Amino acid sequence: MGARRIETGCLYGPTGQRKYLDADERRRFIAAANAAPPRDRALCLTLAYTGARVSEVLALTAATLHAMEGFITIRSLKKRKALKFRDVPVPFPLFGAIETGSAFDAGQPDKRLWPITRSRAWQIVKRIMREAGIGPGLHASPKGLRHAFGINAVRSGVPLSLVQRWLGHASMATTAIYLDVMGPDEREIAARMWGSSPLR
């Protein structure tokens, strides 16, 4: 039996459809989340600002929030063999949104912030995406939001090693896919190249 091929991931489907929200869609999603009821707002903003998987966000408790230090500790549920945690920095106002939009109780530090099912969380995210005017497709999903976090971090100049840590990737090769998305600088260079084209 031959060696099994290691799949590092891809940002495009088999027909070339992207699996990530672009920068404008991400902004619209965050704006729509901010206009949503407190629970949905807090859940969606936590997904957008941590890049965590839905199951990881649903496992968060009051004990995982570190407002004074400005980070959230996320249990990497993909690591089956060993328990692993990662600290992800988030904007300070997110902690206030979580406290008012979840079952946060400092007296019960191990109580889940959002005691809902994974499928219910998916429904909430999909509804907010529709309200944000994001059309259907592979990108319109919690995974598309996670990919958008990675792309935004790379384009903001965050070192790839930090992006890898924040997303909980076991391999740098998985994180490196975010380098392949064409950014504004690349489009500007292409536009300059087209400037001399006779095409009208």
Pairwise CA distance, residues 85 & 143, whole Å:
20
User: Residue 80 corresponds to which amino acid?
Assistant: R
Mean per-residue pLDDT for 131-147?
95
Mean per-residue pLDDT for 79-86?
69
pLDDT at 182: 67
pLDDT at 125: 97
- Residues 31-64: pLDDT tens digits? 999 999 999 999 999 999 999 999 999 999 999 9
Q: Of all residues in the chain, what percent carry a pLDDT higher than 90?
A: 68
pTM of the model: 0.86
Q: Of all residues in the chain, what percent carry a pLDDT higher than 70?
A: 83
Q: How confident is the model at residue 76 (pLDDT cuts 50, 70, 90)?
A: confident
Closest by alpha carbon to 98, among 31, 54, 45?
A: 45
CATH 1.10.443.10 at 23-191, yes or no? yes
Q: How confident is the model at residue 190 (pLDDT cuts 50, 70, 90)?
A: low
pLDDT at 183: 66
pLDDT at 16: 87
Among 3-7, 63-67, 156-160, which stretch is predicted with the lowest mean pLDDT?
3-7
pLDDT at 174: 86
Going by C-beta distance under 8 Å and a sequence separation of 6 or more, which residues neighbour residue 155? 23, 183
| Element containing residue 87 per DSSP (H, E) | strand 85-89
Q: 171 with 5: CB under 8 angstroms?
A: no
User: Comparing 14 with 9, which gets the higher pLDDT?
Assistant: 14
Mean pLDDT, the chain, as a whole number? 88
Q: Residue 138: CA atoms inside 13 Å, Cβ hemisphere, count?
A: 12
Burial track 160-197 (b if 16+ CB lie within 10 A, e otherwise):
beebbebbbbeeeebbbbbeebeeeeeeeeeeeeeeee
Domain locations along the chain? 23-191
